[in-house]
Structure 1
């Protein structure tokens, strides 16, 4: 009966959300749940991205951790959710399976979460979406025996529209509140879109039905990914904490989550990143965040604090990991008082998923005072990280010249190739030849499909698309192929001038789209002195010398 109800809900969602054929997969159970024993399992050695982990511990102490990764260094259609477990208190770990909704297709699985419910069942949540940032749907599988590695998982079933990035909160009356974020409002930038939502699974039907209860409005100027968590305070009110652009925002509900105050800045200083808050066995609150309570740091100095007055003040501050690039804490306290926290480190480099173990006493003291403390326990990492080398696509057929209304730039400055400066890349980048089929940027698959004859054969810096920086090793002219309406104003302010080389569109990827007018470029030039720096943002291509 429950399965039939869920199937009906999915069908209704497909109608009310006006899902297009390409997006229908978000409302369809994933086709690919790949066991680690399968020859098709995506081994960690093939991953160029992994992070955003979540942790839960079974009643008998089996640890479960989930995160997501992919074969490309990006949050994109290739992402899949990973599930791993340890039966020896974290000494060894075994990956069990991944959810990859449609294999190499457009659907991605991401932002997974594991949670132990009051009855001792383990829940594995993940989001499915067509592309990064698109409207998502949360799916789940439940296991009735999480003490066993096999666990006995259910078939995937639908939970809610949106993303669950924090653990559910079980209220005193037995209701479950699920923190769901609907990013559609964030994308559409509608001033009336309330993104930080609370779904309810009422105690009588806990785990069987989930309905939208209420939403907290995040002002559009502050809106980030929400990643909110809900605490039931001792007076019965609800306290919602959410990630915003400025750090941690807060909202309150006095009617069980039906209505919420507008999200506004909290007193907790924090960067725009996920944090973790949870009620402990003692009744005190645990907060894991970056840096001291009253300092806004970057994604480093992951610390644990305790509040004995329901969040008014915070004490202690156990340093879990002081390194840079540590982020996204999540965890659980077990019945013996141990606190288990997972987080990631260097998602695109070593790609580590880590765990810290401590107690409330350690967090309150701000140092290890018990023998239970274990830090930087490795759950997963790439054993031999190598730079990502994307396969080069074939260049698309050149566009018809009469298809676009190009400017011929005949009234612009004559290009001067008589005295080119010698230019070398700064902060990475390599040098290649301007020719059809050459890859343009080190972190994108685009290749040159069209080049004017005047610049063919010249050298250029292959940098990342987001930023280019180079230094002149001699006097002379430096040239930049720049996207108009993107960096033209930036180049002109730096003293560059547009040349008389006609506009063109340098690339299109075969099988991945067509040429678009907004990718039109011109060639700019500037006379520089030895030692001058050439630097600009997204996107352009710097020429370095004569052919």
Structure 2
């Protein structure tokens, strides 16, 4: 197979640089946990970066009705993720706040919601929150749901604590919980596992046929530092032990990289990563140990925002992304798209690349994406996540207007490959933009005069 980076080098002007592997501890930090009787494990007496967080059950029979995580207090939410159990129960997660918009690096006042649906997304119930605010005012960010090689659903919560210089190595830490009964809306969970002291919770891991996994990593604290190496991958064995960490060379165009690799038919790996003017790509021909950056992908989409890639059981590759391009108009950047007739149209409202959420299919391992269906163009739409049902249905979530009055909505669409190939819904079970969560429908949400 001709390498995509080599075949596109004249188009994108990229140099075939190679990444390298590094010592996992140098990237993850020392993730070994202290003994149970260590002061850090006996909350509330000794809080350190290794004091484990917990999940809080909400909306259960007998709960006090006026708890602090109820939806009618929420003014901001977004960045959803979706997963499905073997029995067909849907699970979703996203972050939210009762007080403000997202504020890095510590995300004070922010928590992650876990919700579930037993009726194919018609109705949803919020059942858990990941809220580490009791630990020195910690905030949550970038939650993730994913399904491991054994079919277990796991949740990753990212915790951010300002230790005022005392334990800064784990000011940010990623913790992973495993559902013990994903068919139960109030499932029990495993004890949390400390994964890393960096962001490892935005993109679903890649599962290899041998049960090993590749996790995408990005040190968000270094965003905006052009010479910093940030885009990394952690390879774990089937027992979760680190095998290696690989990294791409520093890329000043990369923002929050949010890379999500796939395995191509020849065994090589391919990924997009988020950059200022669209999506760049990289390839690996040794299982993820080294990577060849290829520069900007010729098709422009998801400009400085998240997209996802997923190989489907059919062998086709699913891409969910914002179908928006840029064009120079007398020195002014405008956003455009092509309609169903191939005519170029300017996007007048909202003037943003974060709209026109679209599902694409590739027949050639991600070289081209000729098939597509528009999912949503109602306002500012971003941050997709997808999972696959046993019947091949594609469940896709994304957010709308995170802090916009009347919006901050989490949407769910259910489609099939046939829908994407047709460019419209042809399956009778498919639907678009079913509401998972909208605080303003429940007496909450941002109101006129609120400043976030």
TM-score of the superposed pair, with normalisation by structure 1: 0.63
Instruction: Tell whether 2:335 aligns with 1:304.
Output: no
Partner-residue secondary structure (3-state), 1:225: coil
In structure 1, the residue corresponding to 2:257 is in which secondary structure?
Answer: strand
Aligned length: 370
Are residues 246 and 339 of structure 1, via their aligned partners in 2, closer, same or farther at CA, if it must alter by over 3 Å? same
1:310-459 to 2 correspondence within 5 Å? 310-348=365-403, 349=405, 350-382=407-439, 383=441, 384-385=443-444, 387=446, 443=451
Structure 1's unaligned 5+ residue stretches are 1-5, 13-22, 390-428, 430-441, 445-547
Change beyond 3 A, Cα 1:135–1:235: farther
The question of whether the paired residues in 2 share the 8 Å contact of 1:34 and 1:99 is answered with: no
| Residue number in structure 2 paired with 1:123 | 154
In structure 2, what is the equivalent of residue 55 of structure 1? 82
Residue 171 of structure 1 is matched in structure 2 by: 208
Q: Cα distance 1:35–1:281, how it changes in 2: closer, same or farther (>3 A)?
A: same
Alignment RMSD, CA only?
2.7
Matched, 1:145 2:176: no
CA distances 1:407-434 after superposition (whole Å, capped 9, x unpaired): xxxxxxxxxxxxxxxxxxxxxx9xxxxx
Task: Write the distance in 2 (CA, Å) between the matches of 1:7 and 1:260.
Answer: 25
Q: Does 1:46 align with 2:103?
A: no
Q: Is the 8 A contact 2:114 2:129 kept in 1?
A: yes
Q: Provide the rounded CA distance (Å) in 1 between the counterparts of 2:356 and 2:423.
A: 13
SS at match of 2:354: coil
Q: Tell me the residue number matched to 2:56.
A: 33
CA 1:80 to 1:335, structure 2 compared with 1: closer, same or farther past 3 Å? same
**Does 163-172 or 291-300 show the bigger shift?**
291-300
Match of 2:229 among 194, 198, 214: 194
Residues 41-66 of structure 1: per-residue CA shift (max 9 Å, x gap): 41111111111000001111000000
Tell me the distance in 1 between the aligned counterparts of 2:410 and 2:179. 23
Quick one: distance in 2 between partners of 1:56 and 1:303?
A: 19
Q: How does 1:136-285 map to 2 (within 5 A)?
A: 136-163=172-199, 164-186=201-223, 189=225, 191=227, 193-203=228-238, 205=239, 208-210=240-242, 212-220=244-252, 222-262=253-293, 264-270=295-301, 271-285=303-317
Q: Indicate how the Cα distance of structure 1 residues 228 and 7 shifts in structure 2: closer, same or farther if over 3 A, else same.
A: closer
SS of 1:249's equivalent in the other structure is strand
What TM-score comes out, normalization by structure 2 length? 0.76
SS of 1:362 mapped into structure 2 = helix
CA distance in 2 between partners of 1:67 and 1:120 (Å)? 21
Distance in 1, matches of 2:68 and 2:451, equals: 25
Q: Quick one: distance in 1 between partners of 2:145 and 2:360?
A: 23
Change (3 A) 1:323 1:29: same
Matches of 1:44 and 1:328 in 2, distance apart?
21
SS in 1 for 2:418: helix
Structure 2 unpaired stretches of 5+:
1-28, 36-45, 163-169, 327-335, 338-351
Q: 1:377 to 1:259 in 2, by over 3 A?
A: same
Q: Deviations over 1:122-146 (max 9, x none)?
A: 1001211236xx9622111001321
Whether the 8 Å contact between 2:31 and 2:196 is mirrored in structure 1 is no
Going from structure 1 to structure 2, the CA distance change for 1:367 and 1:238 (only over 3 Å counts) comes to same
TM-aligned CA deviation for residue 10 of structure 1: 4.2
Q: How has the CA–CA distance of structure 1 residues 68 and 286 changed in structure 2, closer, same or farther, with 3 Å as cutoff?
A: same
Aligned-pair CA distance for 1:217:
2.6
* Deviation for aligned residue 1:11: 5.3
SS in 2 for 1:364: helix
